[in-house]
């Protein structure tokens, strides 16, 4: 113990950090649970080609509203939903307004987070502001630069289960190799997997890939989930990329690493 402490002190004087890594078995177990499933519903592309477009199950009939925290340079996803008579609530404190103004859009200049402390608003408060008595199915499209973990962990289960489809970009996934961060990220996914199946994963090719042996983790990936109440049967998805997948940026190809969809 004394030798270990002395070694740690010596390393820190060199401005280096030596930290324990997540157990390989824990990583592989999480990746197995997150393997995309074919739920018998065709995937379609909503939004533009490239960044801002996502694959979702072709099961949108009956959905009237989308909640879309995180406003980027394009609102093509929400515009395409409007073509399907789905209205969108958008929120982002970092911008004055969405890039386009449409009657189907309702914008709040707020960050969505884990509390209602200005300029933050919780997903529950946001939903209740406009749809307090609404009990129909919803859609969530979320890209909020890492705040997705606190939002998901803080959202009430009854509200979360009201969403039929989730499209979420997860950030800092390379931190799964760190035991402290692993607990937070894994808890987030475990909460989602109680009610949802993963149907698609797409790496954002603007990021880097962290590697440990055969485990490869892109630091940013887009996940699509479907509520388990919409699913009768599942089969493993084994073909990636999907024919409708597009690179976020025309710089380099980044297919989903095989460890995310093939048995170890």
The answer to the question of residue 18 being in a domain is no
In this prediction, residue 77 has a pLDDT band, given cuts at 50, 70 and 90, of very high
Q: Is residue 205 within 8 Å of 254, Cβ to Cβ?
A: yes
Which one-letter DSSP state was computed for residue 22?
Answer: P
- Spatial separation of the C-alpha atoms in residues 241 and 226, rounded to whole Å: 19
What mean pLDDT is reported for the chain? 92
Consecutive H or E run containing 190: helix 179-193
Spatial distance between the Cα atoms of 28 and 159, rounded to a whole number of angstroms: 30
Q: Tell me the average pLDDT across 133-153.
A: 97
Token pair for residue 55?
């694959």
Q: Report helix, strand or coil for 65.
A: strand
Q: What is the mean predicted confidence (pLDDT) over 68-76? A: 92
Where is average pLDDT lowest: 92-106, 158-172, 176-190, 243-257? 243-257
pLDDT band at 7 (very low <50, low <70, confident <90, very high): very low
CA 89 – CA 108 distance, rounded (Å): 8
pLDDT category at 19 given cuts 50, 70, 90 is low
Task: Look at residue 99 in the predicted model and tell me its pLDDT.
Answer: 93
Would you say residue 153 lies in a domain?
A: yes
Full residue range of the structural domain in which residue 49 is found: 23-260
Beta-carbon contacts of 141 under 8 Å, excluding residues fewer than 6 positions away, are: 54, 66, 67, 68, 77, 78, 167, 168
Residue 238 belongs to a domain with what CATH number? 3.40.50
Cα–Cα distance for residue pair 257/217, rounded to 1 Å: 8
* pLDDT of 90 over the 80 cut: yes
Tell me the HSE value of 157 on the side-chain side, using a 13 A CA sphere: 5
Burial of 229 (0-12, 13-18, 19+ CB in 10 A): exposed
Region 105-113: what's the mean pLDDT?
Answer: 98
Q: Is residue 206 part of a domain?
A: yes
Tens-digit pLDDT profile for residues 25-64? 999 999 999 999 999 999 999 998 877 899 999 999 999 9
Instruction: Assess contact for 221 and 202: CB atoms under 8 A.
Output: yes
Would you say residue 170 lies in a domain?
yes
Residue 11 lies in a domain: no
Inside any domain, residue 122: yes
Any domain includes 236: yes
Is residue 5 scored above 90 in pLDDT?
A: no
Q: Which residues contact 158 (CB under 8 A, 6 or more apart)?
A: none
In the block, tokens 């592309």 appear at: 45
Specify the pTM: 0.91
Q: Is residue 10 part of a domain?
A: no
Is residue 129 within 8 A of residue 123, CB to CB? The reply is no
Phi-psi region of 62 (alpha: psi -120 to 50; beta: other; left: phi over 0): left
Q: How many domains does the chain have?
A: 1
Per residue in 59-69, pLDDT (tens digit) is: 999 999 999 99
**Looking up tokens 């502001």, which residue turns up?**
129
What mean pLDDT is predicted for residues 16-33? Answer: 86
């Amino acid at each position: 113990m004394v030798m270990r402490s002395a070694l740690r002190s010596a390393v820190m004087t060199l401005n280096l950090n030596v930290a324990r890594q997540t157990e390989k078995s824990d990583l592989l177990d999480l990746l197995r649970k997150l393997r995309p499933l074919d739920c018998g519903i065709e995937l379609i592309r909503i939004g533009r080609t490239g960044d801002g477009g996502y694959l979702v199950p072709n099961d949108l009939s009956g959905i009237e509203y989308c909640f879309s925290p995180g406003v980027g340079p394009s609102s093509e996803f929400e515009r395409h939903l409007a073509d399907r008579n789905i209205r969108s609530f958008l929120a982002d404190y970092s911008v004055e307004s969405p890039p386009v103004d449409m009657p189907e859009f309702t914008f709040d200049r707020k960050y969505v987070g884990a509390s209602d402390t200005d300029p933050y608003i919780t997903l529950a408060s946001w939903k209740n502001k406009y749809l307090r008595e609404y009990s129909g199915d919803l859609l969530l499209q979320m890209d909020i630069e890492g705040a997705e973990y606190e939002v998901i962990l803080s959202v009430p289960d009854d509200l979360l289960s009201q969403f039929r489809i989730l499209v979420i970009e997860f950030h800092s996934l390379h931190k799964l190799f760190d035991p402290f961060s692993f607990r937070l990220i894994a808890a987030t996914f475990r909460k989602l997997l109680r009610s949802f199946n993963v149907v698609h994963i797409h790496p954002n090719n603007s990021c880097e890939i962290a590697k440990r042996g055969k485990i490869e983790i892109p630091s940013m990936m887009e996940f699509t989930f479907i509520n388990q109440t919409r699913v009768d049967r599942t089969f493993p998805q084994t073909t990636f990329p999907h024919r409708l997948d597009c690179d976020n940026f025309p710089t380099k190809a980044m297919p989903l690493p095989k460890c995310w969809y093939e048995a170890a």
